Structure 1
Amino acid sequence: MTKKIVALAGDGIGPEIMAAGLQVLAATAEKIGFDYQVEEKPFGGAGIDAVGHPLPADTLAAAKEADAILLAAIGGPQYDLAPVRPEQGLLAIRKELELYANIRPVKIFETLAHLSPLKAERIAGVDFVMVRELTGGIYFGDHILEEDKARDINDYSAEEIERIVRQAFEIASRRRKLVTSIDKQNVLATSKLWRQVAEQVAKDYPDVTLEHQLVDSAAMLMITKPSHFDVLVTENLFGDILSDEASVLPGTLGVMPSASHSANGPSLYEPIHGSAPDIAGQGIANPVSMILSVAMMLRESFGREEGAERIEQAVDAAFKEGVLTADLGGRASTQEMTEAIIKNL
């Protein structure tokens, strides 16, 4: 059956890296017999330019009907003072599609280890997954600002906690079978509930080890012993901070994909970096995060493990051949990097 993929190229370098991702997807699909069609829609600044809104109704309708969504990047300085910003489209699509689970793999490519801010011996063997709850917590609670005081409400239900923790256990069961649940249960009531629910979910996965870390301790451990982690799961605010901390470990944002999973609808896959308007249109953007997001899509939405592995191994092979874009210390163009990956499929 033909799978429907909606592509949201967005702004800045978005169209360039989306084109690269779709080239690699086409080459991979041919090798593994994957039948799909792509529908391209405006989103972010491109949506504002088209119809005055970052999430046009037609784009949302197509996304809801899709089997998976690829998003490149959004934003640009021309929208800084606009009444509606491109980022509002991202919050809106997360809410509309109920994209509650944000997944960020953090892996060190051996040939790029020198780019990490950490010492080589400390970064060796780092390969973990950040699982962040994306639609609850303090970001979605009531915000009250008065003249001399303010209050932000942090709400979590047991159901919200259970589904994100279960997502982490499912991922860990296919990896090294260790889940690190991160909270602040010595202070916060939401964290006390979080820890209770995590313990209950763990009973359904007897072959997976559950450990608990306070968020401040976890932040230290991510720098001092990052290779310890396998799958980390945490709430929205802690996850926002820790996933950004984790993103600097490889030394570049240009090789980090992500996924956002829905409870019932399609998942969305995107690079973690921004739209880099300063280099847009120059053909020098690093497409690897987008290409690895395509690999995540093949694995997690369509169960096509072979296709995902082919792409990931082809990326690694291109790096080992010395094909590197400027952000990785090389001179390869976006297209040259893409072609090297396709050659290595």
Structure 2
Amino acid sequence: MKKNIAVVRGDGIGVEIIEEALKLLKTVAKIYKHDFSFNEVLAGGCAIDKTGQCLPDESLRICKESDSVLLGAVGGFKWDNEVSTNRPEQALLRIRKELGLFANIRPAFLFPMLKNASPLKAEILEQGIDLIIVRELTGGVYFGEHKTKKIENELVASDDMTYKESEIRRIAKVAFDIAKNRKKELISVDKANVLDSSRLWRKISEEVAKEYKDVKLSHMYVDNAAMQLCARPSQFDVILTENMFGDILSDEASIITGSIGVIPSASLNETKQGLYEPIHGSAPDIAGQNKANPIATILSVAMMLRLSFELEKEAKAIEDAVQKTLNQGFRTADIMDKDSTLLTCSQMGDEIIKNLS
């Protein structure tokens, strides 16, 4: 199989974790006789430094023409004073919008050997954590109108949270399709007791549910969902929610599994072209020190092979290699415990590749 992959190393630890992902992809290509080509592009803070733009037109063109995009992380303290329209994070938002990446799929699962890294009590973890958050990614408040103006000598800021029926319907179908192949249970998270956009969200999700008779749909307010994720995460299998709520809940779901450094994500459009990235940030405090955990990025590669390229065997091999490496007691600093062996970012990548080959 021949595939073209746009590669965005980005900022901070993005440089290091992407290096391990590329090493892994080259090994997969060699073992399974594939032809992966990599086109590295600038986006984020590094692009601002070199071109003055967070996302140069050439970078966007390459991303659009690729079969999928692999991204490390963007942003950092260095660019905090950039104008809002040219902050590093705007590069990511623009890629999502321009490629039509409306469906963000974020699994959260507990590796048994990492349960001591979770902040939750043992009796809660014994019930297990294995859920998927399906987040709408190109609508809502992040893409609404943002304005600040002076009214009666006082600054007033507003952010428009807008959803169209069609946007809700298409992401709901993605979530229902995932749910029907799992436990056939879907929880839609909203704030319908306050927000009109949530009331529409609930109405449309209930209409879509009529097309999936075998999937049980229930609703939960977002504040309760945030609490329940900590109190009893085992009750969740597939969560459907809008952009901002999904952003917050998926980060919470990742940290209760032990480390944000092991959770991957996929963002897909209607053609299954995708953007694959770890859900953590650029971690400028440890950038360049070879301390980052590459597992989330490596598992994002597995998601890319499965969801965009339909290479199930290769994806499963990567996931098995990660689990085997953790079972062997290898850890990066963020998931280290007293009985394990501490590895650098590059060493962890090497051990996973050994278990793959």
Question: What TM-score comes out, normalization by structure 1 length?
Answer: 0.95
Q: Does 1:2 align with 2:2?
A: yes
Listed one character per residue, the Cα deviations across residues 35-55 of structure 1 (whole Å, up to 9, x for unaligned) are: 321111111122122221111
**Could you say which residue in structure 1 is the equivalent of 2:284?**
277
- The alignment's C-alpha RMSD in Å is 1.7
CA contact (8 A) 2:44 2:75 kept: yes
Match of 2:115 among 97, 113, 116: 113
Mapped partners of 2:107, 2:308: distance in 1: 16
C-alpha separation in 1, matches of 2:208 and 2:36: 36
Look up the equivalent residue of 1:338 and give its one-letter code: G
1:332 paired residue number: 343
- Partners of 1:41 and 1:151 lie apart in 2 by 34
Q: CA offset at residue 64 of structure 1?
A: 0.4
> Which residue matches 1:247?
254
Instruction: Provide, for residues 292-332 of structure 1, a one-character-per-residue CA deviation record: whole Å limited to 9, x for no partner.
Output: 11011011111111111111111111111011111111520
Give how far 1:70 is off: 0.1
1:127 aligns with 2:134: no
In the alignment, is the contact (CA less than 8 A) between 1:32 and 1:306 conserved in 2? Answer: no
In the TM superposition, what whole-angstrom CA distance separates every residue of 1:57-112 from its partner, at most 9, and x where no partner exists? Answer: 11110100111100001123322224432112112212211221221110101111
Match of 1:97 in 2: 99
CA displacement, residues 11-57 of structure 1 (integer Å, 9 cap, x when unaligned): 11111111101111122233333332111111112212222111111
* Closer, same or farther: CA 27–44 of 1 in aligned 2, 3 Å: same
- For the pair 1:36 / 2:36, whether they are aligned, the reply is yes
Distance in 1, Cα, partners of 2:195 & 2:287: 44
Cα separation, partners in 2 of 1:251 and 1:157, compared to 1, 3 Å: same
Using a 3 Å threshold, how does the CA distance of structure 1 residues 195 and 290 change in structure 2: closer, same or farther? same
Structure 1 residue 144 displacement after superposition = 4.6
TM-score when normalising by structure 2? 0.92
Q: For residue 85 of structure 1, what is the aligned residue in structure 2? A: 87
For residue 64 of structure 2, what is the aligned residue in structure 1? 64
* Partner deviation per Cα, 1:216-236 (whole Å, 9 max, x = no partner): 222221111101111101112
Matched residues, number: 345
Q: Is the 8 A contact 2:272 2:308 kept in 1?
A: no
The 2-side partners of 1:193 and 1:281 are apart by: 46
Q: Distance in 1 between matches of 2:181 and 2:35?
A: 26
CA distance in 1, matches of 2:243, 2:45: 25
Residues of 1 paired with 2:147 and 2:346: CA distance? Answer: 49
CA deviation profile, 1:126-154 (whole Å, cap 9, x unmatched):
00011111121223223354435554332
Inter-CA distance 142–53: structure 2 relative to 1 (3 Å threshold): closer
Q: 2:305 aligns with which of 294, 298, 302?
A: 298
Distance 2:291 2:147 in 1: 44
Q: Distance in 1 between matches of 2:194 and 2:283?
A: 39
The reply to whether residue 22 of structure 1 matches residue 22 of structure 2 is yes
List alignment gaps of at least 5 residues for structure 2.
none
Could you tell me which residue of structure 2 aligns to residue 190 of structure 1? 197
Distance in 2 of aligned mates of 1:151 and 1:15:
35
CA distance in 2, matches of 1:75, 1:151: 24
More displaced, 200-209 or 332-341? 200-209
Q: Secondary structure at the match of 2:256?
A: coil
